Structure 1
Amino acid sequence: MSAYLNWYHYYYHNFDWHLFINACQAKDVDSLYCSPFLVNAVLAMGCFFTDHPAALAVPGDQATRGLHFYEEADRLYKAEQDRVSLTNVQGSSIMMLVVSLAGKDKAIDPALRGLQDLVRQVHELHGMRDPISSAELDLQRSLRITEWGAYVYHCGFSMGFGLGYTWGKPSVERPYADEKYSSLVTEWSSYPLNREPIPLRQHALYESLLDVYGFMEETIRLLQITFPTLTPVEKIDAVQAVDDRIVDWYALLPAEHRFDQDSFIVTPATVDLHTTLYFIRLSLWSQAMPVPTESTSSAAEADPLETQQENEPTQQSAATLLPEQDKRGQIVAKCLSIVKLYADVMARFEERFGTKFFTLLTPQPGIFSASFLLTGHLYTSHEEELLLRIMRVLVHVATRNTLVKGVTQMLLKLAEEKVKAQTAQSSALTDKEAQDNAVGQVSPKMFESMEMIVKELQWAPSDHLHFSSRYPNYIADKRDDAGQLSDLLEKWASLAIDEMEAEDPSGKDLMEPEELSTHEQHEIDEAPPLPSIEKDDD
């Protein structure tokens, strides 16, 4: 539960944790703010942020992480028979994310529609008259937290899984809109690491996060609804307008919440604020990119940064590029700059917390960034190194997240197919044509480097059976709308790298969690339990 509150709660923030913990400690099963269902949902999600042995339903089986709590929560929810309550809305939101991490994304769409109905019914049940007593103020704040939390969940799922629709912003005021929260400093604990608490304006940070999800809703509407009616130039202009507003908004954030400032505070919530922004911006610009024509694709796919250099004799001058080629080069450069920002912020996070801890939003922009690089944008050793850095991040996450493990394997197979296709094409071309055709593509040496990184996953023969999802829309040229992820992975299972070698030559079981250093183990052994709830009067 501590892991949930510290590593997750101030991003997907959907209940007042003081009211929740107080009712939980009092074992008040009739409380408005805590229920056995919500507790088990919290525990199921918390399992993704800890190496505690109790996090695994089956000892040693990473695919069962949180499964025992999920099954109990599911049983309790069914026993509730869709009873309208705050805790049912809050727990349902969490359960949807647990399900998505297990790869069962086909269940998300109907679950979101059910959640929308629950939110409306809770709003109608409790009303929103002006509160007078402290109990009424608690209820009002909880309702606001819950409605805005459900909105964040919905936007995240709608964009992440390409559902293509949004609810619209809640009609209620934001939970921390009051001026008193803008400067309120609370302590963030890195439990289970035993380190000094970090003073942080968490409420102001959450308000900024709600701004980000406003941009996400706008992005969903633009890409899913408006884009089909626009010309290529109009698409670029529309994306530029949204991106300009994002950049202007970002410049007004407190310095400690901005990655480009020396005073940036590295915590899960501050990092995920940025990974979400990078995911939105990369989604916008990659969708706005003009498709190169066959006759000009080689020139357009040259290093996009070189289109700005008139003194480069080996590349086509920017002055002679067609307008759509020039725009494409600029957009590719923009996308690559966003990919680098993602890699850099993850490097800062690993420097602070190591590789055994990760944020919830670590993998999504990483998968998207890797996909972008693999689809013809590996121009130089700089981009290749970016891809390897991102693959290492994904492998670290995959040790606890089976879905990310599967998608990481997909990225490797995509790279392998790119190399094979490139080799086949080159055999029919002249040396000059083959050299031009290879610009931005995956080289055999690059694939070997990726192979060595992903090999650490040790894809086991049965891993593919834990999935039952639609193929995720991360790689446009590989998407199959009718396919099931479980079917795809079953076909790939026999192609996995060294899948039968479960141990390395040293005898260490690579399927077991990575050993901690003596320093890291001491930090965890000596870590305190739940953070104190008495210091914060909020």
Structure 2
Amino acid sequence: MNPVQNQQSSAPGSQWRNGNSGVHRVSTACSLCRAKRLKCDGVMPCGRCCTMQVDCIIDENSDNRRTLKRKLDSLENDRELLIRLVETLRDSGDTRVSTLLSLIRSNASLSELKSFVDEQLRRAQSPELAKAHHEINRLQEASSRTCRNVLDVKRLCDQPVFRVPAKPWTTVTGDDGLVSHIISLYFTWYDPCFSCMDRDIFLRDMKRGDLKSQYCSPFLVNAILAAGCPYSDYAEAYTDPDDSATAGVHFYSEAKKCLEMEEGHMTVATVQGLEALSMCAYAMGKDRRGWLYQGQLIFAVKELDRNTPKTRPDATGQELDLGRVTDFTFWGLYIMTTATAMAYHKPPLIDTPVRPRPQGKQGDKDDLWSPYPSQQNGLPAHFLCHFNSLCDLSMVVNDWCQSVFGDSEKLHFDGIKTIVEDIYRRLLDWEKGMLPCIRVDTDGCILPQVLCLHMYYHTITIMVFGFAKNIADGNGILHSKFHKFAANICLQSARKIASLMDIHRSSWGIDLFVVTYIQWTTVSLFILLEDLDDPMNREAFISLSIVAKVASRRWALGKGMLRAVQVTARKMEVSLPPEIDVLFSDFEKQSWGAKDRRGLSSSYPNFAVSIGSVQTDEIELDKFLEKWDALNISDPGEVDKSPSPRE
């Protein structure tokens, strides 16, 4: 027998070539078969190479399964390095290492961590820091080689909660996976906290791709995508992947074009889209534009209310859908506009709805929440319990804003004291009457939207007593007893917000949370600045500063707010805790500049100025920073003399 023939017939796997080729799965073809685009049996050597008496070469780098395995191995190596670094920090008593831990919690990059350790090593010899320095260097080198691969692995493993098509809803991308990813993030982190839509009906019509739907439209979809992009780490969510301020800008621009194309035709989707677009503008630090959208929103709500009849008790099908979606929309917009009114010290724009609150689906087995993008099992969401409780709380906020910001006459001590006592009693009654499923003093896992609800409650308490504590009577006399009581209430609520955020961090991580945390965190930081000598206040301030630093990496408004806290502390001549010196100094040197200041078009009021902790005529965020930031900015070359944009 010919030796070659003998080799061919006895080659491993030859049985698969004899009538069983349909069973064999070949992951990698040899070089000859790949070049000739012929089917290879995948053995070494393969039958064709044996026949032609040539070397059989298999390039393992072309094996997709092996490539994925290498990516996973690389990711595991990075994980091990990170674990070693964390162990180094955990087991050390060095105060500088504790500071490094705070910096890590702020989601600092490896280069920022390395810069801090380099600086500290120059100042003092520390074996713990030296060990941490070594691990950071190794991790940074591994990251620089594999960061793209790690991203690829994340994309390969990503399983969006909701699968929806990109077309025909947006022209920005045709990638169904990307759109599903961003939509899933939006309905995981934002919508459960502040919803103005029926999620299931919206997703149903988005999947159908029907442009005639009154519950889904290109305008609404692009507005939601713009609002959802900051929650994503995918490069496609940014117009410039190296600039977090560009998150969702492409979808935001598309949404504005779609709004123009609607030419004043108002549907439920139009109203919902205006709310999403206004919230997106606020998060981008362009709330002057956001207020314009809210102005359009008020007109749209009136038109919608006039043209939408109340739902009949025996309604079914489309009539039932329209009634449910409209009820959600009106009450959801009421919640958002009252929260915005309180934050910006304005009277509410929308009256309390006369429509019924949404009903049905409460306790439904499909009413689940999952912490996407983490692939964990869903938990009971208790969505309607949360929504109705938020409606009740918003009615208290509405009355407060009407009394304090809607009255043209300036209130004096007796009037404000009466209002505060009434509002505080109602807040306490609201807290006592909460259902067990949305309380935080029970055992079990607490969902982000429940934590959000309680943080909002404590922010309202701070706002109410913050405005009241420095009010003087008609003779200009400050009542010290009431002032002390109000100040203590504010500090207690600020510390409570910090502890709730700690629960969020331990349960769900610190990297993802609803954008409204920015305002609540900032208000708390301003209050805590008044008494950092107290160890409890100092600890809460450190914890919330880390949250603010994380927010500054995702939202332009978060970056402006963190800068406002830093500048306000200097104006108050307050020494910040040394544990976070590096956090603020790093932010000032690496993250904040004239470009960021110019990009702000925000009328958000500095709460420390509003309540009299800082004396200045500039209360709005962009004007406050425009006036004071140039005096404190670390790089004189970055001082910008051009006026800030106004939208």
TM range (shorter): 0.7 to 0.9
1:366 maps to a residue whose letter is: T
Task: Tell me the residue number matched to 1:530.
Answer: none
Q: Count residues with an aligned counterpart.
A: 446
SS at match of 2:572: helix
Contact 2:214–2:267 (8 Å) recurs in 1: yes
Who is 1:378 aligned against? 532
1:426-476: per-residue Cα shift (whole Å, max 9, x none)?
A: xxxxxxxxxxxxxxxx23xx3654432223432243222221223533221
1:463 is aligned, of 578, 596, 601, to 596
Q: SS of the residue aligned with 1:181?
A: coil
Q: Which residue of 1 aligns with 2:276?
A: 94
Q: Report the counterpart of residue 204 of structure 1 in structure 2.
A: 385
Task: Give yes or no for contact 2:495–2:536 (8 Å, CA) kept in 1.
Answer: no
**Equivalences for residues 58-457 of structure 1 within 5 A:** 58-130=240-312, 132-176=315-359, 181=362, 186-225=367-406, 228=409, 230-263=411-444, 265-290=445-470, 324-374=479-529, 376-419=530-573, 442-443=574-575, 446=576, 448-457=578-587
Structure 1 residue 497: deviation in Å? Answer: 4.7
Matched with 1:527 is: none
1:17 to 179, 183, 199: 199
Distance apart, 1:345 and its partner CA: 0.2
- Contact 1:460–1:500 (8 Å) recurs in 2: no
1:475 is paired with a residue of what secondary structure? Answer: helix
Deviation at 1:286, TM superposition (A): 1.2
Change over 3 Å in CA distance of 1:234–1:471 after alignment to 2: closer
Q: How far apart are the structure 1 equivalents of 2:619 and 2:565?
A: 20
Cα deviation, residue 387, structure 1: 1.5
**Aligned partners of 1:371, 1:172: CA distance in 2, in Å?**
38
The residue type equivalent to 2:517 in the other structure is T
Note the C-alpha offset of 1:330.
1.7
Deviation at 1:99, TM superposition (A): 0.5
Pick which of 109-118 and 181-190 moved more: 181-190
Structure 1 stretch 67-76 or stretch 247-256: which is displaced more? 247-256
Whether the 8 Å contact between 2:223 and 2:252 is mirrored in structure 1 is: yes
Q: Give SS of 2:607's match.
A: coil
Q: How far did residue 487 of structure 1 move? A: 8.0
Q: Does the 8 Å CA contact 2:239/2:250 hold for their aligned counterparts?
A: yes
Query: What whole-Å deviation, never above 9, does each CA across 1:192-218 have from its counterpart, x for those lacking one?
Result: 011121112111111111111111111
1:289 and 1:85, CA in 2 relative to 1: closer, same or farther beyond 3 A?
Answer: same
| Offset, 1:43 | 0.6
Q: Give the drift of 1:480.
A: 3.8
Q: TM-score, normalised by structure 2?
A: 0.64
Q: Does residue 1:5 correspond to 2:135, yes or no?
A: no
Q: Which amino acid aligns with 2:350?
A: W
Q: Distance in 2 between matches of 1:290 and 1:233?
A: 13
Gaps of 5+ in 1: 297-321, 420-441, 502-538
Instruction: Give the one of 224, 232, 239 matched to 1:50.
Output: 232
Superposition map of 1:518-529 within 5 A: none
Q: Residues of 2 paired with 1:232 and 1:268: CA distance?
A: 38
Distance 1:371 1:213 in 2: 23
Change (3 A) 1:203 1:185: farther
Secondary structure, counterpart of 2:380 in structure 1: strand
In structure 1, distance between residues paired with 2:584 and 2:214: 46
**1-structure distance, mates of 2:228, 2:533:** 40
Output the CA distance in 2 between the equivalents of 1:460 and 1:397: 13
The higher-RCO structure (CA 8 Å, 6+ apart) is 1
Identity rate, percent:
24
Task: Give the partner amino acid of 1:29.
Answer: L
Please state how far the C-alpha of 1:121 moved relative to its aligned partner. Answer: 0.9
Tell me: CA distance 1:227–1:249, structure 2 relative to 1, closer, same or farther (3 Å). Answer: farther
Which residue identity is paired with 1:459?
S
Amino acid at match of 1:241: D
Q: 1:415 to 1:13 in 2, by over 3 A?
A: same
What SS does the corresponding residue of 2:334 show, helix, strand or coil? helix
Shift in alpha-carbon separation, 1:329–1:22, aligned structure 2, 3 A? same
**Deviation of residue 47 (structure 1)?**
0.9
Please name the residue that 2:18 is paired with.
Answer: none
Instruction: Pick closer, same or farther for the CA change 1:285–1:381 going to 2, 3 Å.
Output: same
Q: CA deviation at 1:341?
A: 0.7
1:187 deviation in Å? Answer: 0.9
TM-score by length of structure 1 reads: 0.77
Letter in 1 for 2:546: R
> 1:469–1:226: structure 2 CA closer, same or farther, 3 Å change rule?
closer
1:221 deviation in Å? 1.5
Larger Rg: 2
Give 3-state SS (helix, strand or coil) of 1:60's partner.
coil
Do the aligned residues in 2 keep the contact of 1:57 with 1:66 (CA within 8 Å)? yes
Q: What's the RMSD between the two structures over aligned residues?
A: 2.7
Amino acid at match of 1:235: I
Q: Identify if the C-alpha distance between structure 1 residues 490 and 450 changes in structure 2 by more than 3 Å, giving closer, same or farther.
A: farther
Q: 1:338 to 1:452 in 2, by over 3 A?
A: same
Structure 1 residue 143: Cα displacement: 0.9
User: Cα–Cα, structure 1 residues 352 and 79, in superposed 2: closer, same or farther, change >3 Å?
Assistant: same
Contact 2:412 2:472 in 1 (8 A): no
Q: How far 1:256 moved relative to its partner?
A: 3.0
1:38-72, CA deviations, whole angstroms, 9 ceiling, x for partnerless residues? 11111111112221222111122101001010000
Q: Deviations over 1:104-151 (max 9, x none)?
A: 122233332221110111122232252633111001101111111221
Letter of the structure 1 residue corresponding to residue 622 of structure 2: L
Q: Deviations over 1:341-394 (max 9, x none)?
A: 1000000000112221122221212111111222x3334222222222211111
